[in-house]
Structure 1
Amino acid sequence: MSRWTITLLGLLWCLAAAHADEQDFTVWEDGLEVFAEHPPLVVGETARLLVHLTLLDGQRPVREGRLTLTLTAPDGTRQQVSADAPAREGIYLPELAPARAGEHELLLELAQPERRHRVAVPVVVYASADAVPAAEEEAEGIAFFKEQQWRMAFATESARREPIAPRLSAPAVVEAAAGRRAELSAPARGTLRAAPGQAWPQPGRRVQAGDALVQIAPLAGAEDVARLQSDAEGARARARLAESEHQRVQGLVREGVIPQRRLQEAEAELATARSALRAAEQRLEAVRGERGGEPLVLRAPLDGVVVASPLAPGQVVEAGAAVATVLDTRRVWLRVQLLAQDLPALSDPQDLRVRRPGSGAWEAPAEARLVYRAAALDAGGILPLVFEVDNRDGWPVGLPLIASLAAGEPVAQVSVPAAAVLDDDGVDVVIVQRGGEDFERRPVRLGGRAAGRVAVLAGLAEGERVVTAGAYAVLLAGRDPSALDHGHAH
């Protein structure tokens, strides 16, 4: 081995040892992140501190302001140095030559035009270089430099305790709300035609209540009128019975004899009965107009969209044949399918959240209200729980969803913003900031969610700092360190 090779290897070893002896600290306080790197502080030796200053509001590098460092010894004596401006964006380079050994307080004060920041940290000054202890081995992390953080949308936040209720998830499906689906059927035997001046009602056509959809040239006899009169009388009787039951239940609920959900069930039954009565009366009115030989016009009973039109112009239909279906989806029902073992936890279902299968984003449906809770399990052991919601997102009827409901009283739990959680190949993870440029991928076990936050049941402690914006970029840097921007010369 040549002398030059030995010299080069020795130099590399010295550089590695010098880097290993570097110390650093990171503090988040008073709206400021202070990340400082420095050699061990030794009495009589000048140490240059590499101080990175980041404004936590917007994660911006400090671009102006006078930085003053005050080193206070155990006996109260002070040394002070200042830098009028950063050496470059976000970085100050003050120098300290400690005069006494022992535990000191290092106070960093940043004076800016709009405000002042004060951050104090404990530091140790050693009597000699030989007194500096060997650096401790640290678990390998992900390096992500300040220069990278400052160039992108990046943010961090401390995990904190928040009251979050335990939650229960169950499959759900979107359904038409009571009184918002109308089946138009032929009131009498006849030939189908398009309504005057109108195209044939194709699925997808938007209609308003009263719009003419189709007409029927009658081929009927007097027996049709008698049958429809009987149907209308039956529907009228059922509507009266539903109104009476609704009034009775309303009084019992007011007196506290029966639960509120029974009133919600009665309201749904009344809406269904009234809808059936309107349809029966419309069919009777239409066939009565037939006596003069005029075509019978079928009109939309409500605002909505034509979702079915199974027949064609010119077809002869029998009385009662389905002609068209109109659906109003401005408000829909969400049928949540609970298992029997879930019932004890949901005595008072609250805080409905939903997401589509395959999506990690939970959302709160607008104006959700509990319509009814079934009184008995179905044949499959399922208890339906039905909510009516404002369908601002245009969910189609039949859409499968995952529903989540609060299942108990809120409990203070460690939580982070939902945006801090990443799905890493099916594993929930957060990116923990261990220091200014030192990060860690951390698997976590999640709990309930509330107001944009998610409880962390395992894997994270209160006070640990997580990345809330830019976490995926840090994760990628950990997978491919060669892609890391190495422009980190100080």
Structure 2
Amino acid sequence: HAHEAKLQLIAYNNDFEVFAEADPFSVGNNSGILTHFTWLDTFKPLRSGKVTVSLIVGTNGIRQTLDEPTREGIYAFALQPQFSGRGRIIFSVETEKGESEIIVDGISVFSDSHSAEHDAEDKEITSSSGVVFTKEQSWKTDFATDFPKREPFGQVIKTTALIKPTPGGEIVVSSKTNGIVSFPDNSVLEGKTVTAGQILFSVSGSELAENNIAVRFAEAKSNFEKAEADYNRLRELAEEKIISDRELRQAKNQYENAKAVYDNLENFSSGGQNVFSPMNGYIKQLFVSNGMYLEAGQPVLSIAQNNTLMLHADVQQKYLPVLDSIRSANIRTLHDNKTYSSQELNGRILSVGKSVHTNNFLIPVVLQIENKSGILTGSFVELYLKTVTNSQALTVPNTALLEEQGIYSVFVQVTPELFEKQEVKTGTTDGLKTEILHGLSKEDRIVTKGAVLVKLAQNTGALDAHSGHVH
């Protein structure tokens, strides 16, 4: 024989992918079983755990247990069958996460080694155009395989959206009095984080000839202290019935008026009237410069919160019939080229316009999201608005698709170490998944992550399917 044929055993359960290359099974002969265990949730190797392999033919069985992997992810078993016939192999895995059992059916044990080798040659899985990508290679990278999904996939409206703060997420802070504005040292800058109650700036009129707030404060304080003393003295006299209730009410009224004026100016310090941040956030914009004269009510700066954001998008009028069926969206950020579903960002559709903008004749759509991905207000994102539908489509993750000069393809798994490039015709995309019109069935296990790496392996021309292993 040109080479000794190996049996390729492939099985899956909810926890593991098992890929084993085994010597053909014949009675009385040792068969090595080089087995790769891959966690399906991460596509990383089984690094520790006790594994038992059982070869069962009829009611007879033999087993071997290994407490640790021979190499990371790889368990090298050796079994010597005692009975011929049809049987199965069971891998029992015990890890910290629990126990798991993977079954490989259709195992043949022959009475002589010659028949076993011929059977292995007949069953050998080969591909003339296949690309070898070993388990050791895939374990080191961000790699995954899965089946295409048949699922509801409606019309997708692709547009761009402008990021704005929510109405309650931005506050303009204004001067409360006339005077000269003064900012603390380097703590009030655009983009700087502020906390509720922090001093933002002070407005002082102490150097002004007219409308001098320092004079007004001193006057208010003097009036308040006098009114308070008068009111307290008259209260004692009223208790002794020396003065009338009317005089006491008049003193109380003067005291409360003086107190209101004084309280209004109470956060005035020797440096002027201090203005505090009304909320946590960051300084979005400064409207004035240090030392400028301000009128009462004049905007000084704006504070924004980036926790919750609004997405303002415009769509063409031709989509009007399906706008009411928009239920969710996918959002692609341009600064890091990542795509998020609206569910990931706790997003929701706030409104769909019932009229068009007069300047561009487009229909506004507004969404709200939680900012979990560092999106900046004022920036743009790509938006895929998804409509609800009853129609089903075969879809694959966008990470599974390779594009060359407008032609799309995927890598279909032949074995967990051998992949064939398959051209597909694509339909619409929602930014995360793409509809496959033909070229693929839902029984085809494909590379969903790491397709580019398999393509690179194809370009390097790796042909030996056993190059990654030591037998």
TM range (shorter): 0.5 to 0.7
- Residue aligned with 1:460, SS: coil
| Equivalent runs, 1:323-362 vs 2, <5 Å | 323-357=300-334, 359-362=337-340
C-alpha spacing 1:360/1:428, structure 2 compared with 1 (3 Å): farther
Query: In the alignment, does 2:35 pair up with 1:53?
Result: yes
CA deviations on 1:152-190 (whole Å, 9 max, x unpaired) are 7765333343445543321001113224434456788x6
CA deviations on 1:317-336 (whole Å, 9 max, x unpaired) are 67886543333433332102
C-alpha spacing 1:130/1:421, structure 2 compared with 1 (3 Å): closer
Query: In the alignment, does 2:16 pair up with 1:28?
Result: no
Query: Residue type matched to 2:132 in 1?
Result: A
C-alpha spacing 1:173/1:162, structure 2 compared with 1 (3 Å): same
Query: In the alignment, does 2:327 pair up with 1:368?
Result: no
C-alpha spacing 1:128/1:149, structure 2 compared with 1 (3 Å): closer
- Whether contact under 8 Å (1:68, 1:81) holds in the other structure is yes
Partner Cα distance (1:382, 1:118) in 2: 58
CA deviations on 1:379-424 (whole Å, 9 max, x unpaired) are 2232111123333444322111012222122544434566656788
Q: CA deviation at 1:337?
A: 1.9
2:133 to 134, 139, 144: 144
Partner Cα distance (1:387, 1:204) in 2: 24
- Whether contact under 8 Å (1:164, 1:448) holds in the other structure is no
- Whether contact under 8 Å (2:161, 2:314) holds in the other structure is yes
| Equivalent runs, 1:95-174 vs 2, <5 Å | 105-110=86-91, 114=99, 116-121=101-106, 138-148=127-137, 155-174=144-163
Partner Cα distance (1:96, 1:295) in 2: 94
2:362 corresponds in structure 1 to 382
- Whether contact under 8 Å (2:400, 2:451) holds in the other structure is yes
- Residue aligned with 2:347, SS: strand
Q: CA deviation at 1:295?
A: 11
Query: Residue type matched to 1:203 in 2?
Result: E
2:286 corresponds in structure 1 to 309
C-alpha spacing 1:335/1:80, structure 2 compared with 1 (3 Å): same
Query: Residue type matched to 2:340 in 1?
Result: W
Partner Cα distance (2:180, 2:80) in 1: 94
- Whether contact under 8 Å (1:305, 1:327) holds in the other structure is yes
C-alpha spacing 1:488/1:120, structure 2 compared with 1 (3 Å): same
Query: Residue type matched to 1:351 in 2?
Result: S
1:203 corresponds in structure 2 to 190
- Whether contact under 8 Å (1:51, 1:91) holds in the other structure is yes
Query: In the alignment, does 2:55 pair up with 1:68?
Result: yes
- Whether contact under 8 Å (1:198, 1:213) holds in the other structure is no
| Equivalent runs, 1:170-189 vs 2, <5 Å | 170-183=159-172
TM-score (norm 2): 0.62
Larger mean Cα displacement after TM superposition, 340-349 or 414-423: 414-423
**Paired residue total:** 389
1:401 corresponds in structure 2 to 381
Query: Residue type matched to 1:374 in 2?
Result: G
2:230 corresponds in structure 1 to none
Instruction: Name the one with the larger helix percent.
Output: 1
2:224 corresponds in structure 1 to none
- Residue aligned with 2:104, SS: strand
- Whether contact under 8 Å (2:315, 2:365) holds in the other structure is yes
Partner Cα distance (1:137, 1:305) in 2: 61
- Whether contact under 8 Å (1:346, 1:408) holds in the other structure is no
2:420 corresponds in structure 1 to 440
- Residue aligned with 2:167, SS: coil
Percent same amino acid among aligned pairs?
Answer: 17
Calculate the aligned-residue CA RMSD, in Å.
5.2
Partner Cα distance (2:116, 2:301) in 1: 93
C-alpha spacing 1:211/1:367, structure 2 compared with 1 (3 Å): farther
Query: Residue type matched to 1:346 in 2?
Result: L
TM-score (norm 1): 0.60
1:488 corresponds in structure 2 to 469
Task: Give the unaligned 5+ runs of structure 2.
Answer: 212-260
Partner Cα distance (2:302, 2:389) in 1: 44
Partner Cα distance (1:469, 1:200) in 2: 46
Query: Residue type matched to 1:362 in 2?
Result: Y
Larger mean Cα displacement after TM superposition, 432-441 or 105-114: 105-114
C-alpha spacing 1:178/1:300, structure 2 compared with 1 (3 Å): farther
Partner Cα distance (1:79, 1:207) in 2: 74
CA deviations on 1:328-348 (whole Å, 9 max, x unpaired) are 433332102212222322213
